[in-house]
Each structure stands twice: as structure tokens, then as C-alpha cells.
Amino acid sequence: MSIIESDFIDINDLDETFAEEVASSPGGEKIRLCYSCGTCTAGCPVRKVDEKFNPRRIIRMVLLGMRDKVLKSDFIWICSTCYTCSERCPQGVKISDLMMCLKNLAAKEGYIPQGFKMQLELIANQGKLYKIDDFDNKKREKLGLPPLPAEVGEISKLLENIVKSFEGDTD
Amino acid sequence: MKYNLFLGCTIPARGRNYEMAVLAVSKKLGLEFNYVEDFACCGFPIKSVIQMGTTLMAARNLALADVNGYDICTLCSACTAVLTECNHELKRNEKLKNEVNRNLEIINKKFKGNVKVKHFARILYEDIGPEVLLTKIKKKLSMFSFASHYGCHYLKPSGIYDYFDSPEDAKTLDRLVELTGANVIEYKNKYSCCGGAVLAADSDTAYAIAREKLENIKKSGADAINLVCPFCSVMYDANQREIASKFEEEYDLPVLYYPQILGLAMDLNPKELGLQMNIVKTKKLLAKMSD
């Protein structure tokens, strides 16, 4: 394999506070226990089909302080949250939770893929991903299923502050 | 036995066949359901963006069930994991519970933590139990071989589920299939993920994950897939044709929800079980029953 420039890590780009930031956020608590055995990566269903997702590598990147590279990446968003890694990690690192933690930190900085942003908006506005309209309820009636409300309005009130904190962000 | 039925988002929109089959078999089993109109999304879809948002939504749903005190029966595995995890967490983390309740106060709700959350398949296995289920079987499905897909959140994280089934060597869904007289088919990488949670971020990756399982099950010679999650069903049933054409393969694998299989064994009408609504046609499969 040839060495390309992007394989080098510039020490000036590292943020030495990043590992601590992650370790003190929910889901990131045990990251420093990782000894890079690669069990997570070997059993990962995403890694199997897409090499850009590599949990062992992501953990190393965090510990080294590659904050921008991690938080601006698209790869943290393709974790399937299957928990296989978390179940198997010999050090008890909850890797699925750790990925959630990294995505949450990225989102806080405004890096949210369009699909996830849309889901947040839909849920904040109507309380569920899919609205149940009259047509749906007619179908339900025909099938012998009870009617459901179109949306649950209360959720917009519950998530008001959360949604506000993401407003104005651009991807 | 009475439960608050938690449908989540996907079932009312894309899994009505699942809901129908659950209601049909439950009637025969004496399981009663309460539809809580105000149940919203479980919270899973926003967890990647903001976990606190998910916790608040899950806690609100649990608080709604607290009002009548009936346990929650879930049908979607993602809903099961999110609600169970939140319940688990809030019961042992007083500080978080207080913070959540301060937020719930705005909408006059309170999380008390008096209800349990259980997936329908687990209720069948643990609360109804194999002995009782066997007495309800009217028609042995020995003409069928099913490949069970457990999916992820039905079993994991195993800690929040009290390890009721092993995530590396799960048995419950296969035992439930065996009760109907059908054969259980083993296949490669049986416990792998459907890829559904990757769909919003990268559909190519999601489809590549789903493809592997479709291929493995096809090779196993199974008549159909047995599963218990609408998210997994979207991947294998609703998206099967698209995956097949993307990878230039042919699967033609019907995808059944376990309650549909159980319903057939109870000799219920396939229509009552919503089998005409499965995306991959079940006609050929059903014809095998009268052969």
C-alpha cells in the first residue's frame, strides 16, 4: 500500500482535550480502557461492507485527539447500533453508546446529516415519523384496527428547547 | 393478561399486517390490549442527534403507561430497546430521573417507573409459555422451513433484558417456530443485523448489509423468513426487490412476522393475519399448506 499524505497525522491538528471531553460524556465513559484488540471491528456488520467504518480506528482517533476529523466525518453516522461490539468488547467499552456520544457531540457542533435532521423535525412537529391521516384511518377501519390520532402535539412542547438548540445550524 | 400496546411509528404506517396478526392470535390466547392514543414515537430516531430528547420521549411514553399501570407490550425491537433502556436507567439514576421529571412537568406528566416493557415474542415465550401455546395449535406446519432472523434490539443490549436469551446463540424465536410444527433452518451469520438503522445515513451500506442475509437465507433453502420487528421487515420484505435488482440477484423469499406463522398454525384465516399485505407475495407459500 502506498503512503499518501492524508495518512500522516499532523500533531498541530490534535486537540488534547478531546479524549477527556468524550470520556466525560454519556456513552464515552470507558473509552480509555480500549487496548485496540479489534474485536469490535472484526464483528461489525457495517465494517464488513464498508471499510470507511472502523470502530477500532475511530476510538484511536478520539484518544489521539483528532477532534475535527471525527466530528466532521460521515462515518460516525453509519453505525448500525447493533450492539455486537458492545456485547463482545473484553474491556467493557460500550462502543454503540460511544458512537451515539460522538454523533451527539457532532450534532451539537452543527454536523448533522440531512436525513437525521429531517427525522428530528418530523418527530418534534408531529410526535411520530409518519402522520396518520384520514385515509390511513379508513384503511385501518377496513382491516378491523382501531383509529389512531394524526399526531401527538404535546411532543413539540416537550422538545421545544432541544429543537431551539439546533436551529440555525446548517449542515 | 392485559397490556398497553405500543405500536411505534413504523407499524401503523408500514406494518399493519403485523398488528393484525398480533391482534388475531392474542384474541385466541386471552391477551388483551389497551390502545393508548397519546403514545408517540419511542424516541429512537433522534437518539443519534440528542440522547436527552430520546430519554424524554421514552420517559413520557412510560409515564402514560404508569397511569393505568398495565405493562407495555412492544412489537418493534427498536422501540423495545429504547423504552427498556430508559426504564432501566431512570430507575437507578435518581438525578437523571429528577431532571426528566422536571421536563415532563411542563406537559403534566410524571415518570414513576411502575411498568415493565416486554416484546410480544417474549410475552409469548415467557408469559403465555410453550405449553399453553401448544394447546392452541390446530394445524402442524410441518410443510414449512423457516429461517429466523432475531435482529439486534430484540436481544441487545443483553444487560437491560436480564439476559433472557443469548445474543450469540439465541433460541426463543426458533423454539416458537418449532411449536408450530415447522422446521427451523440454520444459516450462516444468523445473528447479524438487518442494516435498517443505517438507512437514513447511507442506503447503499444498509442494502449491502441486508443483502448478505438474504443471500445466506436463500442458500439455506428456507421457505420464508421469520422475524419480529417492522424495521427488519422493511429491509427484507419492502426493500427486497430493490436489493435484488441492485445486486442483480433473485431471492423471492417471503418474509413473515412470527404472529402470522403462529396464526396459520392456529388455523386462522390468512386474511385475518394480513398475509395478503406482505410485500413479497405469500400465495405460493400458502398453497403449500393445502398440497
**Predicted confidence band at A167 (pLDDT cuts at 50, 70, 90)?**
confident
For residue A154, the chain B residues in CB contact (below 8 A) are 38, 40, 60, 107
Residue of A nearest to B153 (CA): A82
d(CA A2, CA A7): 10
Tell me if B48 and A123 make a contact (CB, 8 A cut-off): no
pLDDT at A5: 61
CB spacing of A83 vs B48 below 8 angstroms: no
State the nearest Cα–Cα gap between A77 and chain B, in angstroms. Answer: 6
Reduce the DSSP state of residue A122 to 3 states and report it: helix
Write down all domains in chain A, each with its CATH number in brackets: 10-108 (1.10.1060.10), 114-166 (no CATH)
Name the percent of chain B in helix, strand, coil, to the closest 5: 50, 10, 40
Mutate to test the interface with B, among A40, A53, A81 (most CBs of B within 10 A): A81
Assigned C-alpha cell, A124: 418534534
Q: What is the ipTM of this complex?
A: 0.95
Of A22, A40, A114, which Cα lies nearest the Cα of A77? Answer: A114
In B67-202 the beta strands, taken as DSSP E runs, fall at 72-74, 117-119, 145-148, 183-184
CB contact under 8 A, B197 and A81: yes
> What is the H or E stretch that residue A147 is in?
none
pTM (two decimals): 0.96
Half-sphere exposure of A159 (CA within 13 A, CB side): 34
What domains can you pick out in chain B, each with its CATH number? Answer: 2-119 (1.20.1050.140), 136-290 (3.40.50.11810)
CB pair distance less than 8 Å for A80 and B16: no
Tens of pLDDT along B84-130? 999 999 999 999 999 999 999 999 999 999 999 999 999 999 999 99
The CA distances from residue B51 to A162, B86, B159, in Å, are 10, 10, 19
> What's the Cα-to-Cα distance from A80 to each of A11, A54, B54, B125, rounded to whole Å?
31, 12, 17, 27
Q: Identify the closest residue of chain A to B197 by CA–CA distance.
A: A80
Q: Model confidence over B33-90: pLDDT tens digits?
A: 999 999 999 999 999 999 999 999 999 999 999 999 999 999 999 999 999 999 999 9
CA distances for B106 relative to A122, A165, B46, B95, B242, angstroms: 21, 18, 20, 18, 45
**Pairs of residues, one from chain A and one from chain B, whose beta carbons lie less than 8 Å apart:** 173
Suggest the residue from A47, A76, A155, A160 to mutate for an interface test with chain B (most B CBs closer than 10 A).
A155
